[in-house]
Amino acid sequence: MSKETYNAFEVAQAQFDQVALKIGLDESTRELLRQPIREYHISIPVKMDDGTTKVFRGYRIQHNDARGPAKGGIRFHPLETADTVRALSMWMTWKCSVVDIPLGGGKGGIVCDPRTMSDREQERLCRGWVRQLARVMGPNLDVPAPDVMTSAKHMLWMLDEYEAIYGGRYPGFITGKPVGMGGSLGRTEATGFGVIFVLREALKELGIKIEETTASIQGFGNVGQHAALKYTQMGGRVIAISCWDNNDKCSYTYRCNNGVDINFLRSITDSFGTVNKNKAIEAGYELLSGDDWIAQDVDILLPAALENQINSKTVNRISKSVKVIAEAANGPTTPDADKVINERNIFVIPDFLSNAGGVTCSYFEQVQSNMNYYWDKDEVMHKLDSKMTSAFKAVYDLSVNQNVFMREAAYIIAINRVAQAVKMRGWV
C-alpha cells in the first residue's frame, strides 16, 4: 500500500473485517461497528490577528458509545481529513475496550497549522470549535482530550468556553487539562510511560532483559519523549530519534551509538517536537535522513509519530536485529507491512494496546474531576501500570492460547466486548 493510496479509515475497517469474520460476528453487528455511529462536520469562522476572517474545517466523529461516553482527542493538523478522524475514532473504541474502561470511541480534528498561528488565534479557534459542538459533547456524552499539536492550554480554553455556554463548572467535560485546573498528575507522561509498561511485559515474555536492549524512536513529541525517558530509566539505550524539523520542513534522525541523552535532547526541543539541529550537531549527534530511524540495528522500534510510517516501501528497511515493534502512534503499520513483519516473527505490540496509557489516564482524570478529589502522582502511576499490565497479559494469553498474532488477539478482545455491549442494549 503506497503512501499515495493510503486511507486510514480503509485500514481500520480492513483490520476490523478480518477479525469480525474470524470470530463469526453477525452481519448487523458487523455493519454497525465498521462505521461511526454519528459524525459532525463543521465550519469555524475565526477572526485572525490581521483583522481578516478565516474559515476552518473541523470534525467530531463518535464511532461507538455502547460502553460509555465517547472519548478521544482533538488534533490540529494541516492535512487532517474526515477519513483519518473516522479511523482514529474507531481505534479509540477498541482502545478503551481492550483496557476495559467504561468509555466509547470518538475523535476530533481541525484542518489548521498551529505552528503558523498566534496563541490568540488558536484560542479563538478552540472556542469556535466548542461553540459549534457544545450540544453534542459533555461529561456524560463525549469527552475530548489533547492529541497531535494540541496541549493543556487548548483544553482549558475549550473547557472555559463550554462552561461559559452552560453557566457552571464542568471539569469532567474535557481531559488533559493543566494540573491545578482539574488536570491529573501523570497525564502528561501517561501515553509514553504506558508504552514502556507494556514493552517491559513483552520483553519478560520473550526472555529479554530490558537493560540489554537498544531502541530507535520515530517522533519526539510528548509521547516519544516520555517513552524514551521511561525506557532509559529502566536501563534501555536509545541510539536514534527521528523528528520533524519545522524550520527545514523535513524530518531528521539524530543518532548516537553510545546512547542518546534524552534530557539533553528534550532541553533543545520546542513544543512541537522539533530538535534544535545545530545544537544537536554541536553536541556530537550524527545527522541522518528522517526515514533512517527504521533502518537502525536495534532490538526495538518505537514509531511515535503519525499513521502509515511502516508500509510496503519502508518495512523492508527494518534491520534483522529488530525483535519488537511497540506502536506508540495510531495506525503506524499498514496491513501489507504487517504481513511482512509477521513472516519475520517480529513481536508487535499493537497501537491500541501499546498507546492506551493516554486514554486510561484520561479516564482517571475524568473520574477525579467528576468527584472533585485528586490523587497523588504515585497513585496515578500505580493504577496506570496495573491497568496496562493487566490488559497486556489478557491479550498475550489469548495470543498464545489461540495461536494468533498480538494485533489479532487485541482486536478479538476489544470487538467482543463492544459487540456484547451493543447486543445487551438491544441495538442489534
Catalytic residue ranges: 107
**Single-letter code of the amino acid located at 424:** M
Give CA–CA dist 338/241, Å, rounded.
22
Give CA–CA dist 231/95, Å, rounded.
22
Cβ atoms 25, 415 nearer than 8 A: yes
Cβ atoms 322, 299 nearer than 8 A: yes
Task: Give the number of C-alpha atoms closer than 13 A to the C-alpha of residue 24, restricted to the C-beta side.
Answer: 0
Whole-number Cα distances in Å, 311 to 43, 65, 161, 292 = 33, 31, 41, 14
Whole-number Cα distances in Å, 399 to 343, 412, 425 = 16, 10, 29
- Cell numbers representing residue 426 in the block: 438491544
The residues that bridge with 53 in the sheet, in sequence order, are: 47
Give CA–CA dist 86/72, Å, rounded.
11
Give CA–CA dist 379/389, Å, rounded.
15
What separation, in Å, do the N-terminal and C-terminal C-alpha atoms of the chain show?
34
Helix, strand or coil, per DSSP, at residue 138: strand
Phi, psi of 363 (to 5 degrees): -60, -45
Q: What is the DSSP letter of 148?
A: T
